[in-house]
Chains A and B, each alone.
Chain A
Amino acid sequence: MRCRNIKTLDMEPLARIENELKKCVKCGACRAHCPVFSVLGREPVSARGKIALARGVMTGTVPLDARTRADMSKCLLCGRCVEKCANDVPTDLIVLAAREVLARKRGLTPLSRMIRLLFGSRKLMNGCALLANVALPLLFRRIPASSGLRLRFPFRFFSRRRIPAMPRRPFLDRHPEVTEGRPDRPRVAYFIGCMTNFMYPQIGEAALGLLKELGCTVIIPKDQQCCGFPAISGGDFETFRFLAEKNLAALEKCSADVIVTACASCGGAFHRLYPRVLGERIPGLASRCEALAEKTVDAAVLLQRFGFEPSADGSGSCQRVFYHDPCHLRNRSVVREPRQLLRSLPGLELVDTERAASCCGLGGTFNYYHYNTSMEVNAGRLAAIADSKADTVATGCPGCMMQIADGLSRGRSGIRVRHLLEILAEKSPGNR
């Protein structure tokens, strides 16, 4: 059962990281750490299994069929297995390469085609957002406001997914490109990300407010695009590259001292995917990707570094806060700073959850294909949140926010999910 007629060119994404595949010694340690494996329990889901399948694809013993595509789609790209692997096997990159090979051989999935169309053009996306703002409330089923989520998708695939209501104006259209700060403070370029721009503009407002408070000059490059994570997740390297090159140009142009993100996944894309997926492949972009990764920091790290000081007023909407580690921050060892910031707030108690950190289960495109599994992974988080008796969940990623809020909206806990920056902004002196 050998699969012939696979052009060598189609295999190139895997072939170029063949040495990384060979690093896997099949010890099985990844079985203890994969959130998807813990739900589904089948070996092809584990990192070791996916690597075996990728090897099989290369040698022709595993067909590039719908089943292989389904197996490769069962990855949250959380990076847990990479972090825990004794041999440093980059399973995330291997899964992305396998998805790209599948896309080359079988074409993009409908979802990836939609991502290419939509994310490939900011204009179209803005138009859709505008349209969505008008049309969606008519189309969507409304759910109670207390959950922080307002809409339910009416379509089959997303029929159970609950999302926040879209804002009237995307964040990017609200502010000037440059807000001058004090000359002794750094020039900060703010990379927003689609979810903040179109779904959670309040994160952007909080980030902007906090950066201004610190006296930073804030540049919000108007021609920034989607980071490209959703595109490369579906194996669409061309769109990923197209977006990445635009972002590189937009961010380089503003000659900032530092680039800040408040979306763990956008930051993760800059830190890992730009250098490893793009830079290693396109020699001309390698040093630019490295430089971008070097310059990019998460907002929590920046605020901690430049001495965020809360107002002494202990009042506020939340008292007991559960901090959820987004995988794409934990991967970059951003675990201390968010906690230090929360602890610095008067009248707020942080429930420490560092030890029990696990994925929220969203996984970008993953939750589209495997919504039930996604919510089962999420259930583990919800249980920990309930145990903590917190009134608020804080995190550093709008994706995690949407996912956890979706899970919570099914119970009657009344627990709110907020971005760390929203809580900080509320307690910032400038806000009083």
Chain B
Amino acid sequence: MLKMHIIKELKAIVGREHVAVERQDLVCYGYDATQMEFLPDAVVFPADSGEISRIMTLANRERMPVFPRGAGSGFSGGSLPKGGGIVLVTTRMNRILRIDTENMIAVVEPGVVTGDLQNAVEKLGLFYPPDPASLNFSTLGGNVAECAGGPRAVKYGVTKDFVLGLEVVLPCGEIITTGGETFKGVVGYDLTKLLCGSEGTLGIITRIVLRLLPLPETRKTMLAMFESIDGAASAVAAIIRARIIPATLEFMDHSAIACVEGQFRLGMPGNARAALLVELDGDRELVERQAADIGVLISPLGLIEFRAAADAAEAEVLWKARRLISPALRKVNPDKINEDIVVPRSRIPDIIRRIDEIRETYDIPIVNFGHAGDGNIHVNIMIDRSMPGQAEKADRAVRDIFRAALDRGGSMSGEHGVGLSKAPYITMELTPAQIGAMKAIKKALDPNNILNPGKIFPE
């Protein structure tokens, strides 16, 4: 429990109605999409960087942990108040400050929902490409802090590729800006990149300058079903070799197809072992030509079925199987361990086969789908935690899967981050020297370890 005088001071900083300490608030700001739960001591909703700065000064004086939070939709526990402290929610800071069509940038506060910014810029013929699955509810502050990805990463890159500059409140309360509103800028260290994906451990993002692109004229969606995962992987290689970079290249392996088909009977061909969802964007003429080229390129690769959508409604039909994975998974087992390993895209067939072996070794359902274009695979280990032994089995499977990804030149996490859920495993990927360098940065900026403690590094 926080001392009364601290709560009083917090109320003096942000206003009475923006400090919540009742049990109901504490419960509702102590979870995220990992389903882990911790109870904070207070929840504050500051309005600007000045208030956040004062909160951090107070936090340092009182040695009281502060946990920044956006929508609380993270998949690694990055915003969770483990050990108690103050949850600092940025959703009141939700203004789009400026959309500059001349310089093609947007300046936003961290609480803006990603999809809201996309809608706003698209009305002006501009485009903010990063599209995490949570884009309709996750915030840009959270996206930057976790360096969110999404299907379009294969063509456009991830969140950090669009961040030009930030305003940040450092753990000790100083307010600084990093980068700026220009594409170029080499004066000093690139703190912008350092803060992207820092998981709220190095500073609280209070303003974001984002780069925008022209909105592509059109979009075309295609769905291809293959006899084998190798066929689908060869198709990806063939498409890229032909110098075509689709906006998205999503795949479902046999486990995901079987899972969706078993629940929803969409009528996908029974012998399909892999599905590839391809979306092209750009000028109408170019997109049509590339779509035709893709049809020719992939037809000799064990193709069972190929469908191209004529309009948005048909595209939605093609996306259906992909969108139904999540509800279908739920019916396999109640608890989902959702990993997001990444490997070089040419190694996808290889790692899918390795995961098949792991599935058999531990005899637990594992369903794979993800972003074939950038090698980012969502590995879903479905267990029932109420069954004795399942959690331990899953933990061993996770280790094997991470090992397999690392052995193939990949990484444990492509877009979810480490947070709490992957912290126990990071020594598999990072050397003591790497971790030492990171901890030195953390220590220099946050000497009292009060900003989002307990994340990334194993305790």
- Residue numbers of A with Cβ under 8 A of B are 1, 22-23, 25-32, 41-44, 46, 49, 52-53, 56, 61-63, 67-68, 71, 86-88
Contacts and interface: CB of A to CB of B under 8 A. Distances in A.
B134 A27 contact: yes
Interface residues on B, range: 20 to 34
A71 B24 contact: yes
Given A26-B32, A26-B33, 17 more contacts: A25-B35, A26-B31, A27-B73, A28-B33, A28-B137, A31-B137, A42-B28, A43-B28, A43-B72, A44-B27, A53-B24, A53-B28, A62-B23, A63-B23, A67-B23, A67-B24, A86-B326
B127 interface: no
A56 B33 CA distance: 17
Contact of B27 (A25, A41, A61, A86): A61
A25 B330 contact: yes
Contacts of A88: 327
A367 B446 CA distance: 47
14 contacts: A1-B23, A23-B330, A26-B33, A27-B33, A29-B134, A29-B136, A31-B137, A42-B20, A43-B29, A44-B28, A49-B28, A52-B28, A61-B27, A67-B23
A308 B51 CA distance: 62
A30 B73 CA distance: 11
A32 B24 contact: no
Contacts of B92: 41
B125 interface: no
A67 B22 contact: yes
A106 B74 CA distance: 36
B27 A56 contact: yes
Contact of A28 (B20, B71, B326, B327): B71
A106 to B, nearest CB: 15
B413 to A, nearest CB: 18
Contacts of B136: 29, 32
B115 interface: yes
B378 to A, nearest CB: 13
A87 B328 CA distance: 8
Given A32-B137, A43-B72, A88-B327, A25 B24 contact: no
A87 to B, nearest CB: 5
Residue from B28, B33, B323 having most chain A Cβ neighbours under 10 A: B28
B113 interface: yes
Nearest to A1: B23
A63 B23 CA distance: 8
A62 B27 contact: yes
A87 B71 contact: no
Interface in B295-335: 323, 326-327, 330, 334
B340 to A, nearest CB: 15
A29 B336 contact: no
Contacts of A28: 32-33, 71-73, 134, 137-138
Given A28-B33, A28-B134, A63-B23, A22 B334 contact: yes
Given A25-B330, A87-B326, A88-B327, A32 B33 contact: no
B47 to A, nearest CB: 13
A43 B22 CA distance: 13
A49 B115 CA distance: 21
A29 B33 CA distance: 10
A183 B39 CA distance: 67
A62 B24 CA distance: 7
Nearest to A19: B334
A43 B113 CA distance: 15
Residue from A1, A28, A53 having most chain B Cβ neighbours under 10 A: A28
B25 A44 contact: yes
Interface in B4-25: 20, 22-25
Contacts of B32: 26, 28
Nearest to B135: A32
Interface string B29-49: 101110100000000000000
Given A31-B137, A87-B330, A53 B72 contact: no
